[in-house]
Amino acid sequence: MSSFGGDGLIRLENVGLRYGMGPEVLRDLSFRIDRGTFQFLTGPSGAGKTSLMRLLFLSLKPTRGLMTVFGHDVTTLSRGTLPTLRRRIGVVFQDFRLLDHLTTYENVALPLRVMGKAEADYRTDVVELLGWVGLGDRLHVHPPVLSGGEKQRAAIARAVIGQPELLLADEPTGNVDPTLARRLLRLFQELHRLGTTVLVATHDIALMDQYDARRLVLNEGRMHIYD
Ligand SMILES: Nc1ncnc2c1ncn2[C@@H]1O[C@H](COP(=O)(O)OP(=O)(O)OP(=O)(O)O)[C@@H](O)[C@H]1O
């Protein structure tokens, strides 16, 4: 029962995942992510990182084992609970998922609008954050005209603007140069300092070497942890 002690924001016990009738792509995962911690998730291409991120964002359910997120057993979540839990999570997926009919500024401000905040209270924060990620001159354009790296940074800004309890970022520096990648890592560190639990999936060893954090390593669906 090792994963079920302590202040586990996320707990997995013997979790397995398969797509349809295919083979298990995640196998016997047992680990805990404590509140307020920072960790990298890494491993070779196809090891299951994105699949694990989807599990943690409650887009998929484990096909076996026990998993809790914010203390809720994910297999018995009611339809109403799911969106409430997701609102506590900031996500950056590899396909960005920006809304094309909104400007960059509006995309990033969206989580705050959903929370019911007034624009006058957040406008400066959104503009400042977009400046920090290098999009200060792209505020009023729509996602289709942004480059891949610009879309990625807009998605990151949207994920962090509301200071979520949990940040899940899948290859967040995959489309940017090393200088910008360091800058984005600093943003995640700052968020962590403010209390967010952070999980960053990355292949980028140079990036991981810049921050002394726990490493969750997936290999062929199994996990090894280096504290
Ligand atoms: N929707 C899906 N349906 C069926 N199989 C899938 C699906 N998504 C992923 N897989 C399979 O699950 C395995 C793990 O894929 P996943 O994308 O989670 O790995 P990854 O570690 O994120 O890889 P990468 O680093 O290349 O993004 C792979 O064998 C992949 O083919």
Residue with CA nearest ligand 1 atom 3: 19
Q: Who's near 86: CB < 8 A, 6+ residues apart?
A: 57, 58
143: in domain: yes
Residue with CA nearest ligand 1 atom 30: 46
Q: How many CB atoms lie within 10 A of CB 204?
A: 18
125: in domain: yes
- Tens of pLDDT, residues 108-136: 999 999 989 999 999 999 999 999 999 99
- Tens of pLDDT, residues 132-182: 999 999 999 999 999 999 999 999 999 999 999 999 999 999 888 999 999
134: in domain: yes
106: in domain: yes
Separation CA 88–CA 102 (nearest Å)? 22
Separation CA 222–CA 48 (nearest Å)? 9
CB 165 within 8 A of CB 196: yes
Residue with CA nearest ligand 1 atom 12: 25
76: in domain: no
- Tens of pLDDT, residues 45-87: 999 999 999 999 999 999 999 999 999 999 999 888 999 999 9
Give the pLDDT band (50/70/90) at residue 6.
low
pTM, full prediction? 0.93
24: in domain: no
Q: In the chain, how many domains are there?
A: 1
Residue with CA nearest ligand 1 atom 26: 45
77: in domain: no
- Name 42's bridge partners: 217
The dihedral through the CA atoms of 104, 108, 111, 114 has a sign that is negative
DSSP 9: E
Q: How far is the CA of 51 from the centre of ligand 1 (A)?
A: 6
20: in domain: no
> Which spans in 100-193 are helix H?
104-114, 119-132, 148-160, 178-193
pLDDT at 7: 65
Separation CA 160–CA 188 (nearest Å)? 8
Q: How far, in Å, are 53, 60, 67, 154 from residue 75 at the CA level?
A: 16, 10, 8, 32
Q: Which residues line ligand 1 (CB under 6 A)?
A: 19, 22, 25, 43, 45-51
Range of the domain at 108: 96-161
Q: How far is the CA of 194 from the centre of ligand 1 (A)?
A: 32
